[in-house]
Amino acid sequence: MLKDKLEPVLSQMFEGNARKMLPVFITGAMGLLASMTPISAPSVSLEGKHIWILRSMPISGADVLRAKLRFHCIASVPVACVGALVLGIVYRIGWFETIFAVIGTALLFVLTGILGLVFNMCFPRLDWPNEAGPCKQSMAVFFSIFGMMFVSVVYVGLYFGFTALLGGAKNSLLAFSIVNVLFIFINYLFYLLMVKWGGKKFETL
């Protein structure tokens, strides 16, 4: 099994602390999966020439973007969290570590949705001839995918940085919690950007 092969390698890399390092690797791997599911990135562009229907309704652009973010979260976050939970159980990393991995996974998938909408507002494409255009050939999707790959690497890097600052693997759970709190703040900042700037930009499309 992959589990039996992975743990000895990690034990050599981290001086026997493989089990303490596994949670952040699970979260980082789920973050890379999040980059492959940019559901929200083409969602505004897919409205195409019919976007006037949304704009004619008595709702703000921010409400439209919130609805699209909500759909992204409903479609991806529960499945991702269950995946992280199952991996935590299979690798027996401990309940607290598993919970933090699930929280980190949820944060990364929500951030994927937020960034997707922000990038879609930066690079809207409403004049497509068919649906493949905004889904496969748009800058919003491109930046969402590679942006979240970079964010996932940063997430893991911050974890190791805080672990080193706090004195090593014995404080890995504290480092994990600090990174998750930091990403809650990052999610909130980008959410405000999406709602305030993105909402106004939507109303001018």
Taking the C-alpha atoms of residue 191 and residue 172, their distance in angstroms, rounded to an integer, is: 28
Does any domain span residue 53? no
Does any domain span residue 1? no
Does any domain span residue 15? no
Does any domain span residue 52? no
* Full domain range(s) for residue 126: 20-45+58-202
Q: What integer pLDDT is reported at residue 188 of this predicted model?
A: 97
Does any domain span residue 12? no
Q: What integer pLDDT is reported at residue 47 of this predicted model?
A: 85
For residue 145, how many C-alpha atoms fall within 13 Å in the half-sphere facing its CB? 10
What is the tens place of the pLDDT at every residue in 79-121? 999 999 998 888 788 888 899 999 999 999 999 999 999 999 9
Does any domain span residue 10? no
Query: What is the pTM assigned to this prediction?
Result: 0.88
* CA distances for 156 relative to 91, 117, 167, 186, angstroms: 18, 24, 17, 15
What is the tens place of the pLDDT at every residue in 24-69? 888 999 999 999 988 999 999 888 888 888 888 888 989 999 999 9
Does any domain span residue 5? no
Per the structure, the count of domains in the chain is 1
- When mean pLDDT is compared across 4-8, 78-82, 122-126, 159-163, the lowest value belongs to 4-8
Taking the C-alpha atoms of residue 72 and residue 113, their distance in angstroms, rounded to an integer, is: 6
Does any domain span residue 172? yes
DSSP 17-45: -HHHHHHHHHHHHHHHHHHT--TTTTTTG
Residue 124 near residue 44, CB atoms below 8 Å: yes
